[in-house]
Amino acid sequence: MGVIFYLYLFLGGGSNGVVLDLGEAYLDNFEVAAKLIGWPPATDLDCDGFIDWGDVMVISEYWLDTSPDKADLNKDGIVNFLDFAKFALVW
């Protein structure tokens, strides 16, 4: 399965409170967000399309849980360092 890459471009209003006209943009209000589709779903624990600090937060919420819904990446029945090591390989 290949990886699908989506690129999003967001433009905001002026940082000085002035509304932008058509075709105008301030660099400080320019955001490019990329999303990769096709990651192994087990490592994207918060399902936002990124492997990042949000996923670390999820793994910490389930830390040492013996009946986890998710975050048990190696499926041994507990969320521990083995799961974090598997997560870290993808990050």
- For 47-61, write each residue's pLDDT tens digit: 887 888 999 999 999
Whole-number Å distance between alpha carbons of 60 and 56: 6
Mean pLDDT within 6-35: 59
pLDDT for the residue 1: 44
Q: Which CATH superfamily includes the segment(s) 42-91?
A: Dockerin domain (1.10.1330.10)
Residue 77 Rama label (left phi>0; alpha psi -120 to 50; beta):
left
- The whole-chain average pLDDT of the chain stands at 74
Q: Where in the chain is the domain with CATH 1.10.1330.10?
A: 42-91
Q: Which of 18-27, 31-40, 43-52 has the lowest mean pLDDT?
A: 31-40
